[in-house]
Amino acid sequence: MTEAKLITALNKDNLSHISKTYVPSRLLLGPGPSNAHPEVLNALSLNPIGHLDEAYISLMSDVQKLLRYTWQCNNRLTLPMSGTGSAAMEASIANFIEEGEKILIAKKGYFGDRLVDMATRYKAQVSVIDKPWGEAFTYEEIKYEIETKKPAIFAIVHAETSSGVLQPLEGIGDICRKNNCLFLVDAVTSLGALELLIDEWKIDLAYSCSQKGLSCPPGLSPFTMNTRAEEKLSSRKTKVPNWYLDLSLLNKYWGSDRVYHHTAPVNMNFAIREGLRLIANEGLENVWNRHNTNAKKLWNGLESLGMELLVPEDYRLPTLTTVKIPPAVDGDGFRNHLLRNFGIEIGNGLGELSGKVWRVGLMGFNSCEENVNRLLNLFDTELKKFSIFESSTF
């Protein structure tokens, strides 16, 4: 090609004026991503090595061991999938559903809807049980539905990031086993932050993300499955209809063969190894306690400033608090003010809660007393500037 025919950077929309990449400093106290730990960022910035290099293979084994600890399980097939939480969510559906199979989805927010959408695309026979956003299911409700609907898979979100609800999971695994059903859990906003006992709670399949409790950037989705799930996978009559997320292929790379499947995002795996190592060093129970303590401090502080929280304390989610926007307040105005003038991100409500709540996240590295105090102080001093009526109080 001659020089004249090239679309040059100089004459194409003045591309030469695009500056070196710059990202403003932010404290991410929304629904995620959360800030990455500085040690994670150091690991992320290392030069890549080959994804079949023996040094990398040894690092992969560390990631798997650390993940088993963080998931509290002994599952052989435990790995970080390439892609954000939705990738492992889709893998959980694509690999375990065959056309016409029954899945029961307990839906109490936005991410339950996403499970329904995915299961429908993979041609499952989908049954849904619904709860209003802000409420959790009872053990009895779930037991009744599984016993009467007899699904092949029961799926539920542990920590519903859209509503701020923490769903109790104990006992559901036993119901699933008695009814010959796989128990699938979305742990995107709980892994590495809240009590989650995969083996003890008899969870057969679970997935999460890297950008919340694990203090990493988005890009990987930890996944784990036990032998019940392995048996279901190996008894499939049809090929998994998604090549990239096919667990039997991924198993050849993450299992003992270490055979190439796709080029692993090696730097993200350096990062997750570091995030998981920091959790193991702190101790899982200490990590859970830290998240609970900081969340309680936030809840008490907000309530003493007159704010109302959407979810009752019994099933309120420590990693994500939904705060009702007082009727006399410009919710977007306050949120934008925090971002533009203080570099702090909090989230708007999602879906049907949009404009009704703010979503405040305390996850991973960001769950610390200093961040809670900083945010409470801003609610105290800045919120009044966003009152729609001059004289209103909340």
Ligand X SMILES: Cc1ncc(COP(=O)(O)O)c(C=O)c1O
Per CB under 6 A, residues contacting ligand X are: 31-32, 84-86, 89, 111, 157, 161, 186, 188-189, 209, 218
Minimal CA–CA distance to 67: which of 190, 249, 204, 223? 223
E strand or H helix that includes residue 343:
none
Q: How many Å apart are CA 208 and CA 351, to the nearest integer? A: 21
Residue 68 beta carbon to ligand X: minimum distance, rounded to whole angstroms:
21
Going by their DSSP bridges, the two strands 77-82 and 220-225 should be labelled as antiparallel
Residue 111 beta carbon to ligand X: minimum distance, rounded to whole angstroms:
4
Q: Which is nearer to ligand X, 111 or 183 (CB)?
A: 111
Q: Which is nearer to ligand X, 329 or 350 (CB)?
A: 350
Residue 99 beta carbon to ligand X: minimum distance, rounded to whole angstroms:
24
Q: Which is nearer to ligand X, 32 or 275 (CB)?
A: 32
Type of residue at 72: Q
Give the end-to-end CA distance of the chain in Å, rounded to a whole number: 67
Q: How many Å apart are CA 31 and CA 193, to the nearest integer? A: 14
Residue 345 beta carbon to ligand X: minimum distance, rounded to whole angstroms:
14
Q: Which is nearer to ligand X, 153 or 376 (CB)?
A: 153
SS3 state at 41: helix
Token digits of residue 56:
């990398």
Q: How many Å apart are CA 267 and CA 191, to the nearest integer? A: 21
Token digits of residue 33:
């991503």
Which position's Cβ is nearest ligand X? Answer: 85
Minimal CA–CA distance to 298: which of 209, 203, 200, 378? 378
Residue 347 beta carbon to ligand X: minimum distance, rounded to whole angstroms:
10
Q: Which is nearer to ligand X, 68 or 359 (CB)?
A: 359
Residue 86 beta carbon to ligand X: minimum distance, rounded to whole angstroms:
3
Instruction: Say if CB 159 and CB 190 are below 8 A apart.
Output: yes
Q: Which is nearer to ligand X, 269 or 379 (CB)?
A: 269
Residue 312 beta carbon to ligand X: minimum distance, rounded to whole angstroms:
20
Q: How many Å apart are CA 355 and CA 325, to the nearest integer? A: 8
From residue 24, give the alpha-carbon distance in Å to each of 27, 219, 342: 10, 20, 11
Residue 385 beta carbon to ligand X: minimum distance, rounded to whole angstroms:
30
Q: Which is nearer to ligand X, 32 or 151 (CB)?
A: 32
Residue written as tokens 């769950």?
367
Minimal CA–CA distance to 207: which of 106, 73, 318? 73
Residue 141 beta carbon to ligand X: minimum distance, rounded to whole angstroms:
20
CB atoms within 10 A of CB 235: 8
From residue 231, give the alpha-carbon distance in Å to each of 88, 150, 155, 235: 19, 19, 18, 6
Q: Which is nearer to ligand X, 97 or 188 (CB)?
A: 188
Q: Which is nearer to ligand X, 31 or 134 (CB)?
A: 31
